[in-house]
Structure 1
């Protein structure tokens, strides 16, 4: 039984998007022709999965109204998949290098359509005691205030913090606002006795460490 399930999973990975969607509908009622029709209706409304992901809620609701409960089941399945894909993956253990942090954060935020700010609170040995997304902005902005960041750091009894934000554009070049905010956060941390270890810009395939780029003053 286990071997059959593993073979089935491998077979699914070999399917392209159109074949996978048709397989989903066929599995529900074993009617190959009906599954093909349902898949065609979906692609007519959303030419790619990316179009579905970026579609307005009203468009998705219209799809359910016109096509029935099987599309609702599909939407439930997609929602579950999206939640699994976007579930936080905590960085376990101790931070040893910027590469370790950067690569993990790329995997976590590379597909986000909004700019998010992630705060990592560390103890005196640079062990991660908490990680959370504390702000989500629009496609181009992510309003933040140092006071709110350090309020969380104090609550977690952090000795050091590390912040990271993604650029939905995929580029890691920091903006003027990114640099100014990081410097202000560093100054606030020095006054409060909670040092800013680093600030990361996360792109689609790469990251930038502001500490390594000498955009944060090193003691």
Structure 2
């Protein structure tokens, strides 16, 4: 993210790929090394964005159209950017964010229609920034879905779309990695968490 002193890192992948665990492990490692780290997530990461999170991640699969979801996610992201991400970067912190705009490019832009152009246009108008580094945790969609469903939380609206969506999203994420190779680093997330964490830390150290 140009014009700042910090480093903005996003973690992406299909549901159940271990992003949240890896975000926590990476933050712990950096803090032990003496770095200021802001560990955050999307949707969410600020009070207003967390309220929107409850709207989009809970309820029936047909609760919102893809177009409405796009507007809700963008509103949450704008609040998150203003109140959490940008202030942290300005003071030199490392921001580790569990999902960012790439998830919207796929879950709303690809999953239920051809809205990628609308996603990118709205992102350019209202957000205008990309992470410095995106770690993509790649794994088998069937295994990831079983992991995600085993969590048994209230936030399972996207998991309820089933294996077909997981497969489509995996292909979409790998497509984004090919589209933006200077920003993406793909990590095999099907291995032991500590091995995956080593790869994530090495990728960040190479970019920092």
Q: For this structure pair, what is the TM-score category when the shorter chain's length is used for normalisation?
A: under 0.3
Bigger Rg, structure 1 or 2: 1
TM-score (norm. length: structure 1): 0.27
Report 1 or 2 for greater relative contact order, CA contacts < 8 Å, sequence distance ≥ 6.
2
**TM-score with structure 2 length normalisation?**
0.28
